[in-house]
Structure formats: structure tokens, C-alpha cells
Structure 1
Amino acid sequence: MKRRFWSFLMICVIAISLVSIPNLANSTVPAFPTNFEEVTNQLDPLDPMKLPYTGLYEQTVTIGNLTRTFKAYIPESGVHCASSVFILPPNGETAADFIEGSGWMEIADKNGFYLFVPEPFEGEWKQDGTEVDYIKAVVAETAKRIYYNPYPGNMYILGYQEGATVAQQAAMRTPNSWAGLATFGEINVTEAFMMETAGLASNDPQVALSEVPVPVWMISNKLNDSASATLAYWMAANNVSDQAYTLDDTFVYMPELTTVDRMIDTQPVAKVQFTKKNTVKYDPEFNEQVWDEFLSKVGRFAGITNTNLRALLGEEGAGMAEQRLVVDGYKRTWYEYVPTSAQSNPDQPLPVVVVYHGGSQTSTAYIDYLQWYKIAEERNFIVVMPQGYPLKRNGIPHPSWNVAAVPTAPDDIEFTKSMIENVESRYNVDQGKVYCTGQSMGSMMSLRAAMALPDIFTASGSTSGVIINPAMYELTDVNIDYEIPVWIIMGQNDIGGGSLAQNAAAKTTVEYWIERNQTVTVDQGSYYKNGAYNHFMFVNDNNTPMVRYSVVDQKGHLCLPSEAWMLWDEFFSKYIRNENGDIEFEGRAAN
């Protein structure tokens, strides 16, 4: 009787276990909901960054007259501005089967990245290079950021078996999109395809596509002729040493460090690896190793022409700590970096730089994007990176700044004041040296802070953003009792154009600060050129540059770590606000 009871109990346990495991392959994968108004209204003010849609969904793209599908998996642990991993499964395997069997769903859950799985049409990948257009269409669809909010730079592409060849072809033809490539299985990229790619120009007409680096890890049980040629292709593109070091069954080719580049905006981090390993069956443990030890170590960031590769540190690696406050009932957060000198000399007054991220971005993403922590350590100041609050847009709410002081949204001026008061309560802040900066919408927020809080901020220097909403000039909290130096850096190909003659909003913005700071008129400013940077200076009666406007040749809507260094060394460090509230420039009175 006992034996029968235990047998029955074991059957029940197995049945319950089977029920509790989601079987994606046998379930219908839904499309994303479109109740954007509802999810915006239901945003939890004490947990605003939680993504509204998580789980597995199906999306479609159209290439010519053909509509194709791909799967998107957004983990519960996913965040705004997460990394994205695009994986191409083998022939004959659906995306749902692959996600369930490969272990990548669990890896995404653990690390919080988005998972996108393009699918072979009618179960079979074409190997002739024509699938690249489909992969490009999938990437473009995810970049719309309607249902989720991926970071545009940290994208990685993987391929298994027949999908490996397509992943290689996609990385060769669109290298500026990928921060890493890993392929599992034999490669069948033809020599003709590689030769054709070598003849195509990248975003920089002087650089071929075959010269744009991508970190590459090839895993296969053998190195056939095509795989050998593919390995050689990437070794040349990545400018690696031809001498490998070995680690178990892996050969690692490291990038050459001899370069004329200053290695601020771009770094030699594109290594090439080959591992001899059987790839017939999935190895979730090895897949996790590929993420942890390879893909997650490098990010790709916007550049003036081609995009830039840099090592990823993240908040922990950069030594930045998250701080939290509840302001007017809303949870507000920021990251801050305090230089190591403050530990040995805590009584030394330190300047502060407040960095506002761009629209749809996050303070976490901006840690590696602009690397202000490096400047703070080197130049001895505190950097503070506040997080914008998700606001309504075309799709799910995205992190934004309330630059127009909309009363139904969180007050970012109050948040800024509370944040700075909190920092001042814990550190010895030099109140005459508090500066603000930002990119895009963050630039607008930096200008907004300069308009409303000139008694707190000494100067505002920002990139790719001007005042596009005239209502900002008329807000009741605008404080005109203080002058405040302003520098705006725009790209020649920026939104609205870079030149003042082309961009009416930029000209109005500059004229506002010219009038407020009592400098020469917009037509009387001086000009000088330094490399790609065209600088326009507007001085007051004491020959103090109180307004600067710069246009960068060929640059689009982006910012660079080198510009962050420029903002500190050429601008912020030259201005202080004395105890009377007046600006001093290079040790003398500005007026």
C-alpha cells in the first residue's frame, strides 16, 4: 500500500513539474499589446523604470513584397537602454524551440538584456548573402523602440550552424551595428562575398567596410577553408597580432596597441578568437561563458563617421554608486562618482558636474557612453548623473526630462535641487563650481537648469540640443538675476542642422543667452577653427567669453567622450561663481 502511495505521489510530482515549465514551442506567440495610454497612466511613481511588456512576442518586418517574422524576448529583469542579443538559429528550428533549448532565455533573465531571434524563411537560411537585408530590417524594427527601449549601441549578433554563415555576412556588411559577433558551426561565406564587401565604403568614405572592426569569436569543431578565410578577414579588419595566445582549446588574437589614435573615443578592443568545439548540441553553460567573458565586455558607441568600440565597465566597474530620493511622491535616482582623493582629503572642497542623459536614455547607459567618471578622477571633481522619469511618447513611456515644466509630470528642477542638496549634505562641495551638461534632450535640460537655477550652477555646457519649445523662455521660475556662461556644441548634420543660419531654434537659443549675458550680437562674434570644430565666441564688454557655439564637421546627433574632456578643460574649469554670486573667468571678474 505504501509503495502504491509513493508511486502515485511521484506521478503527481512529475505531472506538476511538467505543467510548471513553459513550453514555448507548443504555444502561440502573441504580438505586443498596444495599450500605450493605459501603461502610461498606470506607471508606478515608486517603480517607474519597470518595463510594461515582458515575455516572448512576435513581430513582423517587410522586405520587398515578403513579410517575415522574428521573436522578441524581454525578460522581467530587463531595463530601459538594455543591451540586445540577436541570435540566428539553425535551419529547421523555430525561434521558440531555439529559445527554449539553447539556454539563452535563462542567460537573458540573469543579465537583463533583450533577446531577438530572426527566423529562417520556411525553415531554411539562404547562404548567398541575401538574408542581410532581412537582418537589417529586424534591427531597424527594434530600433523604433515602441514596445521596449534598447540601447542603440550595445547590440551583438550570434549564429548557429546555417545561421552562423548569415550572422557572419550580416556583421561584414553592417559592422557599425555590432559590438560583438559569435558563431557556432561551419562557416560558408564565399570569397566573392568578402571581396565585394572589401570594395564597399563604410560611413567614412576613406574606410572600407572590411576595415571596420568587430570583436569576433568563432566556435567550430574544424576550420574549413571558408572559416579560415573568414578568420583572416576579421584579423585584418580588427588589426590584431598574428601571434595568438592559447587558453585550453581557444586561440586568441589581440589587437595591436601601436596606434596614432588617442584612444579616448575609440579603443583597440576588437579581439578575434577561435575555439575548437563540437557545436552540434547546445551548451547553455558555454553560451553563458560567451556572454560573460566576451560579448558583455565591449560596447559600440556613436561616432562622427563610423561608430566607436570601447570597453564596457558599467556602474560597478566605474566605481559609481546609485542614490535614491522620493521627490514630490516620485522615486528619483542618480549615479555619482567621487574621486579617490576625497577619501584621503575629505575636507577639500570639490566641484560638481551634473550630467543629464538624452531622451529615452538612462544614467546607467551614460556611464560608459561619455566616461565622465574618468575626467572626475583625473581632474578631481564629483560627477552626478540623474535619471529622467518615463513620460508619454509614441509607444511605451520613455525616460525624459520635463523641460517645459508640464504640471502633470515630475518637476525636474525640484529634483535637481533636492539631488544637489543631498550631495552637499554628504560631501564638501565647492558651491562656486557646480556645472551642468547634457546631450540632446539632456542638453535642453541643462539649459533649463541654467535658466532656472543660475544661483546653483556656474555654467552650462552641452551637446546636440537647443531650446525648441519657446514656452521655456516664459516659465515663471526663470531666474534672470544672474549671468551664466553657456556653451552649446552641435553637429553639422545634427537635428535641425548645425549652423545658426540653418537652425532657427539654435539661433534663437544663442540670441537668448547673448542678451541675457550682455555680449556682442550674434553677427559680431569671433570665429576660430580647431580640427573639425568650428567655434563662435561671444564676449561681453570685459572681453569675457560668456556664450560659445560650436559646429562639428560631419557630426550628427551625438556626443563623444573627447567632448566631455573638452567641456571640462576648455570651459567649466575656467569659471567660478564667487560668494557674491558673480562670475569670475580665469581668476578675474567676468564683468
Structure 2
Amino acid sequence: MAKYLKLQQFPQNMGELPIDFQNPNKCLLTGAFEEQLEMNGVSRTFITYLAPELEYCRQCIVVAPPSNVDALEYLQSGGWQTLADEQKLFVHMLVPQNGSWDSTGTDADYMNAVYSCIQTRDYYVTMQDNIYAFGIGDGAVIAQQAAMKMTSEWSGLGTIGELNADAVHFMDVSAVGQVQDNLELMVEAAKCQLPVWMAFNEFTPENQKVLAYWQQQNHTTCQSVVGEGADFIWMPGQVRTVSEVNEEQIAEVRLTLGQSAGTPQLIRTMWQYVGAARRHRGFGGKILRYYKDPIACGATLHTMEQEGFNRCWYEYVPKSCTGNEPRPLVVVMHGRGGTADTFFDISGMSCVAEARGFIAVFPQAGVYQQKPGGLRNVLLWDGIYDGKPVDDVQFIRALVADVENRIPIDKSRVYACGQSSGGMMSSTLGYYASDIFAAVAPWSGMWMEVERNIVRDKTTPQDIPYMFIYGSNDFLCAGKAPDPELPFSVSEAIRPRIAEIMARYGLKSENIQRWSCPPINWYLFPNESGVPMLTVGVVNNMVHANYPEESWISYDQFMCKFSRDAEGTLFYQGNPVY
């Protein structure tokens, strides 16, 4: 039986709460909390439930409950608290104004506003990749409307209840896209595929219209099958002409007929399917894939104590890596607010490792206080705790040494890559750990802040090549105007790093090599020997993000071509760089 909940208020100063040094990624509070947001000048309330031992970046369910129920009581009686406790989920319960839902679109906008609000990192850390909309009773109409207006933001939709004529009002309407720069949040609000499970009593005209809408969005076949608690399952067509490296055609439409009440068992059954997908940022839009759980995929979790913190990483050893043959090692690092397990999924690097026969490790960053008075345990590479820098270079050095002590590693072929804060960290390793790395591939971020590197004694002297990939719409990396000295535009924060690398290796703009392979425009800077010491890829129509194909490109076209011998000499395709 779930413990009775009392509605709490979040502390005004989250910076006063202590961090769990054994699990720095754990939520600092537990229980049900009231949150507020402003929408069109009106204050709206919703309830957030944080399960015991809940960690950041876990899946989030946003629920539109039936009208005229107490939201806090329904959180408990409807089975949501039990589900959250068992599976370690965030649950956000909407509260209708005056006890009933407004199906003209106002409350659909409220539900979508909650989607954005829960990502502000004021009291906990969530991801835009794994947030799901549920609606029960007449709340089903609100969830349907919200998903239709912002399909590309939700990772799944579940509704239990009869639908009315208002449910179809937004079939051809999308919300306005927006960028929340300080949190890397991009709302595209595009129409696209979405895993959907509905339950209602009968095939009324309104129910059938909504059903047909999602069948069209998901490109499902006309034939249905039965199973897993659904009376009808319409699956995407089997004939596909596009690559599924980045986005998988996985969105089914499921229907349970004869039920319009949200029983805990039905909700749990629907969640098992709806919660299996995640939607990640990429070029051209947000892309849907099944979640790759590190442990289920064969990775192992490792820990060590570093500077008083329990640090962790996932280690993926492909099935083909048997015997004593030394294998390359790739260190793959997540962005700010992310985690090791989420980036195992987002990067898709384990698939590259399996195909190419190298070891991949996915470490978790240290902590950082992103906002004054805010959380002190937002995960960020080279962070700060209590005014003291967290030395993540030493952590990565210790991690690599630990792996090398247990697994045959080709020490001449150790590489680093990562996105955003992880991209900054990979380029930082190029300055301060080039003695153990042969090449680095920062994605949507490069080392920028000198003051965060005060823990360093000196840079390492070895030369190291860079492959820098970022999106043309990346708020952190893309410039706002053409660059007078470069054929691509980068932000003022990144520009000095590009200039520094060019000066360090004597790279000249007049020697640049350019080509295009959509969606990327490439710019290669060779040194005097013709070796590409800096390669820049600008991804068309991409925001602050990365996508799985970048992992394949970074390894196949760049990292694997470089090696470094025991004396520190850098080789390119088997030949000394100088």
C-alpha cells in the first residue's frame, strides 16, 4: 500500500540541501510537491511526485486526471504513486481549474506548458527525451489535444476514456516552436509518429476520427493484430526506404475496447508499451527510437571513489572482443544535465562498438550548481562543488587506467568524444590528456572556460587532432553572422578555440578542403604534411544536439585513422604525422 501523501512546497533555496556523495545524481527531495507556472497571465498549479531514491533524467509521466477529482488523492488511488515508486518515475499530475477541463484548447496548452516547466531544473532534473502524456476520463481529450499540438515533444501517449468532437480540433494545428536557450530546450511542435495506446468503450464517430488520425500519423497498415492487453494493434508498414540508424519506425496504434475507466492494471499495461520509446533531438526534427538500456544491452556498471564522490561509468565490451587481442577504447561523454545511461542510449555508440570491435565506456560527469540558490548536483563535466573545481580529467585518467588493468586495450588507439558539456570535456582532454588520447571528437561544444581549469598544472605536449561537429541552429556553437576569416560561422565563445587549434598546428584557411554530404557541410584543415588536424562538420537544420550517425562518422571517418605510439608520436593512417 502506497504511503499517504501530504502536499509540500519546494524550499526557496535548493542550494542548502545536501548531496548524496554515494549517488550524486539522486533527487534531493521525496514526496508530492505543488508547482506553479504562468500561462497567458494566469497562474496554474500542478503536482509533482518524486519517488524515494528517484534519480535525475528518469522517465516523466504528465497526467490529465478526470474532472472533479482531487489530484493529490488521485495520484495515490489511481495507482500512479505505486507505479512511480516501483519503476522510479517522475509523475506530474495536472489540476483542472474550477474542477473541470476546458476542451477549447486552453488546457491542452496548459499540459504542454507543464512539459516545458518541468525542465527548468529548479528542483530536479528531467530530460525532454522521455516525457509521456496520459489522460484519464475526460482528461483523455486534453491529453489528445496536447499531443496533437506538440507531437514531436512527447515520446508516447496513453488515453483511457471516451473522446468527443473537441478531441479532433487540433489535428491540423501545431503549437509555436520555441528555444529555451539556458536549458538547451527546443520545442519544435511538429507533426510526426507517436506511440499511442487508447482505451474506450465503443467505436463512436469521434473515437474513430482520433483513431484514424494516429493511424495516418504512424503510417500503420490496415491489418491489425491482437496481444499484450490490446484488442487491436496497428503496426507501421514493413516496407521502408529510409535509414533507421537515427529514427526507427516504431510507433504503433493500440486500442483496448470496452474500457473507459483508468484502472491501475490497465494503466500499468499501457505504460509498458508507451514508455518503451524515447524522442531525441537531431537534424531536421526530433527522432524516435526504442530506449537502449545499458544493462539489457550487455553493458556493465562500474564505480570508483574520486575526490569523495562515488563516480560511475557503463562499460560495453562487444561479443566479438574475446581473447587477449588488444582493442581500441572510446570514452563517450554526456551533456549537461544528462547521465551515463541516457547517453548510452542517445549516442548509439554501443552499436558502433559492436560492429567495429572496440570497447566503449560511458562515464558520468561530476556536479555543478547551475543557478544561484539552485541544485548543487546538476551533472556537468569539470564542475564545481562548494567553490572547489571537480577535476574530471583525473577521473577520466583513473577510469582509463582501471579499464586497461582489466581488459586488453590497444593503448595506441584511445579516443574521446561527447556532446555539449561532454564535447567540451573531450576537447579539454585534448589539452590536458593528449598523452593517453590519440584523437578527440567534440560534438556541439568545445572547451571554452579557462577559469574552470584552474586545477590543471599544465597542458600535455602531444599533438592531437579534432573533429568538431555542431548544428547550424545550435545556440551554443553556431554564429549569428558570417565569419570574415572562416567559411563557416561559429559563436564568439567557440571562435577563439578554433583559432587556437589552427595556430597550434599551423593550419591555414587558404588550404581548407570543403565538401558536402547532406546533412553535413565539411571543412577540413590539413597541416603542412596534409594531415587533417582539424575537421569541422556543420549539420544543416540541427539545434543543440547530436544523433547516432555522428558516432559512426566520428569513428569511421576520423578517430580510427589516428594512433599514438608509446613515445607519444602521432600516426595518421599508419604514417607519422610529422
TM-score under structure 2 length normalisation? 0.92
Compared CA separation, residues 471 and 59, structure 1 to 2 (3 A): closer
Structure 2: segments with no counterpart, 5+ residues: 179-187, 484-488
Tell me whether 1:325 sits opposite 2:297 in the alignment: no
Compared CA separation, residues 403 and 547, structure 1 to 2 (3 A): farther
CA offsets 1:311-365 (integer angstroms, 9 cap, x no match)? 11312222111001112332111001001112xx321110000011101110011
Tell me whether 1:528 sits opposite 2:506 in the alignment: no
Compared CA separation, residues 30 and 184, structure 1 to 2 (3 A): same
Aligned to 1:31: 9
Aligned to 2:403: 423
Compared CA separation, residues 478 and 550, structure 1 to 2 (3 A): farther
Shift of 1:144: 0.6
Tell me whether 1:543 sits opposite 2:530 in the alignment: yes
Distance 1:404 1:53 in 2: 21
Aligned to 1:577: 564
Equivalent positions of 1:39-438 (< 5 A) are: 39=17, 42-190=18-166, 193-194=169-170, 196-197=172-173, 211-247=191-227, 250-280=231-261, 282-292=262-272, 294-342=273-321, 345-394=322-371, 395-396=374-375, 397-402=377-382, 408-438=388-418
The one-letter code matched in structure 1 to 2:97 is F
Distance 1:361 1:586 in 2: 34
The one-letter code matched in structure 2 to 1:510 is I
Distance 2:510 2:139 in 1: 58
Compared CA separation, residues 21 and 375, structure 1 to 2 (3 A): closer
Distance 1:71 1:407 in 2: 33
The structure with the largest helix share of the pair is 1
Shift of 1:405: 11
Shift of 1:475: 6.5
Q: 303-312 vs 499-508, which deviates more?
A: 499-508
Compared CA separation, residues 419 and 210, structure 1 to 2 (3 A): closer
Distance 2:319 2:349 in 1: 14
The one-letter code matched in structure 2 to 1:223 is F
Tell me whether 1:481 sits opposite 2:481 in the alignment: no
TM-score under structure 1 length normalisation? 0.90
Give 3-state SS (helix, strand or coil) of 1:333's partner. Answer: strand
Compared CA separation, residues 462 and 210, structure 1 to 2 (3 A): closer
Tell me whether 1:451 sits opposite 2:467 in the alignment: no
Q: Are the equivalent residues in 1 in contact too, given 2:150–2:190 (CA < 8 A)?
A: no
Give 3-state SS (helix, strand or coil) of 2:295's partner. Answer: helix
Aligned to 1:14: none
Give 3-state SS (helix, strand or coil) of 2:296's partner. Answer: helix
Shift of 1:190: 4.0
Compared CA separation, residues 138 and 448, structure 1 to 2 (3 A): same
Distance 2:83 2:20 in 1: 27
Shift of 1:85: 0.3
CA offsets 1:406-448 (integer angstroms, 9 cap, x no match)? 9724321111111111101110000000000010011111111
Distance 2:545 2:335 in 1: 10
Q: Are the equivalent residues in 2 in contact too, given 1:528–1:535 (CA < 8 A)?
A: yes
* Structure 1 moving runs of 4+ over 6 Å: 200-203, 403-407, 472-475
Aligned to 2:496: 508
1:567 to 554, 557, 577: 554
Give 3-state SS (helix, strand or coil) of 2:275's partner. Answer: helix
Give 3-state SS (helix, strand or coil) of 1:487's partner. Answer: strand
Q: Are the equivalent residues in 1 in contact too, given 2:445–2:476 (CA < 8 A)?
A: no
Give 3-state SS (helix, strand or coil) of 2:446's partner. Answer: coil
Q: Are the equivalent residues in 2 in contact too, given 1:464–1:557 (CA < 8 A)?
A: yes
Q: Are the equivalent residues in 2 in contact too, given 1:575–1:585 (CA < 8 A)?
A: yes
Q: Are the equivalent residues in 2 in contact too, given 1:467–1:505 (CA < 8 A)?
A: no
Distance 1:579 1:352 in 2: 16
Distance 2:191 2:543 in 1: 22
Distance 2:538 2:190 in 1: 30
Distance 2:512 2:249 in 1: 40
CA offsets 1:284-325 (integer angstroms, 9 cap, x no match)? 222222222x12211111122321110113122221110011
The one-letter code matched in structure 1 to 2:284 is T
Distance 2:190 2:162 in 1: 21
The one-letter code matched in structure 2 to 1:552 is V
Shift of 1:403: 6.2
Q: 169-178 vs 183-192, which deviates more?
A: 183-192
Q: Are the equivalent residues in 1 in contact too, given 2:524–2:532 (CA < 8 A)?
A: yes
Shift of 1:472: 6.2
Give 3-state SS (helix, strand or coil) of 1:341's partner. Answer: coil
Aligned to 1:3: none
Q: Are the equivalent residues in 1 in contact too, given 2:149–2:173 (CA < 8 A)?
A: yes
Distance 1:44 1:194 in 2: 45
Compared CA separation, residues 404 and 449, structure 1 to 2 (3 A): farther
CA offsets 1:368-395 (integer angstroms, 9 cap, x no match)? 1111111100000000111112221222
Q: 127-136 vs 144-153, which deviates more?
A: 127-136
Bigger Rg over Cα: 1
Compared CA separation, residues 386 and 496, structure 1 to 2 (3 A): closer
The one-letter code matched in structure 2 to 1:286 is L
Give 3-state SS (helix, strand or coil) of 1:241's partner. Answer: strand
Compared CA separation, residues 96 and 433, structure 1 to 2 (3 A): same
Give 3-state SS (helix, strand or coil) of 1:117's partner. Answer: strand
Aligned to 1:16: none
Shift of 1:218: 0.6
